[in-house]
Amino acid sequence: MYTANLSFILTWKMVIFTLFVLNFTITLTLVLFASVVALLTAMTYFFWRRMNYWQEHGIPHDKPSYLYGSFRGLTKLYGFSDILRSMYQRYKHTGPFCGYYFFQRPAVMILDTELVKNILIKDFSNFSDRGLFHNEKDDPLTGHLFFVDGKKWHVLHGKLSSTFSECKVRGMFPCVRDIAQQMISTLDQLLERNANVEVKELMGRYTTDVIGKCALGIECNSLANPNAECRAIGRRIFTDRRHGLLVSGLIQGFPQLAQKLHMATIHPDIEKFFMRLVRENVEYREKYNVHGNDFMELLMELNKGAKLRYDKNDEFKGLTVEEMTAQAFFFFAAGSEKSSSTLSFALYELAMQPELQDRLRCEINETLCQHDNKLCFESLNEMAYMKQVIAETLRKYPILPHLARQALHDYVVPGHPKYVIPAGTLVTIPVVGIHYDPEIYPDPERFDPERFTPELVKARNKVEWLPFGDGPRKCIGFRFGHMEIRVALTFLLQKYRFSLSAQTVEPVEVSKSFSVIPRNGIFLKVERI
């Protein structure tokens, strides 16, 4: 009897315990479900508010995609420059700026050139940051002068800008001239096999050797070997991405969150190459006491074995090897790709209009004749029409189609109290939109170097031509880039005539990415003169 009662009691206890566990499980499940629903609801509301920001503030804008913001079709149907240019044309006369969405990030596009001048120059102190993703700890190559903000940018800019002063560029001229002569020898070899030449690849080999030797003090040998490691990596810098468009968009849409999540954007192979390149370069120079008048020498002088920091007296203490590598990477990428694309576009346009090519060739020959048929730094600077041709090329094909800034504090647009740029907002200056504005440059699709005669340049607002930016964050390498391009054009046009071939694509195809670079190269017929 006692045993039966005990069994009965135990059974009921098991039932009660089971019911308790079941009830607890259901309650916990409901709590978790409610929490997930609440979290999803909060995130949905956050995204909804974020993606309706400009509508709530009554600022003209396009209806965004929740995934891609204002960039539907980017890389598949359109390039970044196409989207910016179209947006600029639609909203130009609606106000000083329009709203758009840099993926999931509300941003403004400046439509008024006076406001452009304020942001780049007059009110620069409020727009000194770019506000773009960089993560020096997990993605060290992003810690370069172009991306970094705040005090670090000010220090780096002050330390590095002297590298490309007019005096330093003059000192680099003989090296550039020697490499240009090597380019001519390489082109002669190519012409022995085929008169149709893919000029973008040849220009890329030339600029890779130039920036490698003059900035980093290394022999890339790209002209001698098209498969040289430096050139192979150079091709990949603008094509190989660590993530797809969607993840990249999320990184740029939430740069601070991406940094906290230890995300990176540079492809690991590219990072490893440049880390090895700089370390080996530094070790070799230190071991053999090698010194050079180049960018790498300056970086080594700034390398004190301590991370960029300040002592108790607020003084700069030095760069680590990683920080040195980031600067070397940036100047290698910018110096090789921007110049090679500009050269290729210039040759293409001159091939399209032979009369312009003949005029420039005539100027080259006349100028060199006055200097014993030798190219020197002084003769290069005397070629006025050459400068016009390059300026028009950069107008029509700005490699960076926009400039990025970020407001540090709320900014009320002068004369437009309704238009306020909130602190932390990404500001975009649509370089390609301004360069193709028919009110500034009539018939903008036409290649016309006469737009840049001294008289017209003087009469034009200087922020209406921005291939290198303007103000304190203007590209510090613009003098070097100009010199590199002019030297190449001088050698090429003095010895060869460029024309269209059966392989030339008209109009030239531009990459559907964030940069204005040739999509599939540029083929031209080349003849010795």
Residue 281, CB-side half-sphere exposure with 13 Å CA sphere: 26
- Cis (ω within 30 of 0) for the bond into 449? no
Cα-trace Rg, the chain = 28
Q: Which two tokens stand for residue 69?
A: 């913001």
- DSSP output for 263-325: ---S-HHHHHHHHHHHHHHHHHHHHHT---SSHHHHHHHH--SS-S-B-TT--B----HHHHH
With contact defined as beta carbons under 8 Å apart, do 388 and 465 qualify? no
CA separation for the pair 160, 302 (Å, rounded): 9
Residues found in the chain: 529
With contact defined as beta carbons under 8 Å apart, do 407 and 423 qualify? yes
CA separation for the pair 371, 379 (Å, rounded): 7
- As a whole number of angstroms, the longest Cα–Cα distance in the chain is 127
Q: Is 475 annotated as a binding residue?
A: yes
Helix (H) or strand (E) holding 71: none
The angle that helices 384-396 and 321-352 make with each other, rounded to 10 degrees, is: 100
With contact defined as beta carbons under 8 Å apart, do 244 and 283 qualify? no
CB count, 10 Å around CB of 347?
Answer: 26
Scan for tokens 């993530």, then name that residue.
Answer: 243
CA separation for the pair 125, 472 (Å, rounded): 10
- DSSP output for 177-219: HHHHHHHHHHHHHHHTT-SEEEHHHHHHHHHHHHHHHHTT---
CA separation for the pair 335, 455 (Å, rounded): 30
Q: Is 319 exposed, middle or buried (0-12, 13-18, 19+ CB in 10 A)?
A: buried
Angle made by CA atoms 63, 68, 70, in degrees to the nearest 5: 40
Q: Is 282 exposed, middle or buried (0-12, 13-18, 19+ CB in 10 A)?
A: middle
CB count, 10 Å around CB of 515?
Answer: 17
CA distances from 195 to 57, 350, 451, 499 (A): 59, 17, 32, 10
Q: Quick one: which of 396, 385, 384, 383 has its CA closest to 349?
A: 396
| Residues flagged as binding site | 475
| Residues flagged as binding site for heme | 475
